[in-house]
Amino acid sequence: MDDLVKSCGYECRLFASAEEFLAFEPRSAIDCMLVDVKMPGLSGIELQAELNKRSDRPPMIFVTSYRDDRTRNNAMNGGALAFLGKPVDIEKLIGCLESALDR
């Protein structure tokens, strides 16, 4: 997925876990996040909740195989910009990235 983001002309930084992201400084350098629900350590939903507590959250786009309504509602109610299923629709993802980065 990072190759796709780069091919659209955006810089991309990968993190192995939510905890690695939370330790990264300066987080203000992050303009948008592509997040999975299932990750090592904290889940994407838990990461979102932690960032919401800190009022330190760039737009989040969830890209996941876990597409049940409860998970989707949790992500969207937590402020996610989008909740996309895998395999991801490339055009939808690009549209979401453009929307997030034009804010």
Q: Which pLDDT score is estimated for 56?
A: 76
Per-residue pLDDT of the chain (103 residues; tens, 9 = 90+): 889 899 988 899 999 999 999 999 988 889 999 999 999 999 999 999 999 998 878 999 999 998 899 999 999 999 999 999 999 999 999 999 999 998 6
Quick check: pTM over 0.75?
A: yes
Q: CA distances (Å), 49 to each of 10, 22, 60, in order?
A: 26, 12, 12
Domain 2-101 in this protein, CATH class: alpha beta
Residue extents of the structural domains in the chain: 2-101
Q: Residue 93 and residue 103: Cα distance in Å, rounded?
A: 16
Closest CA to 33 of 77, 63, 65: 63
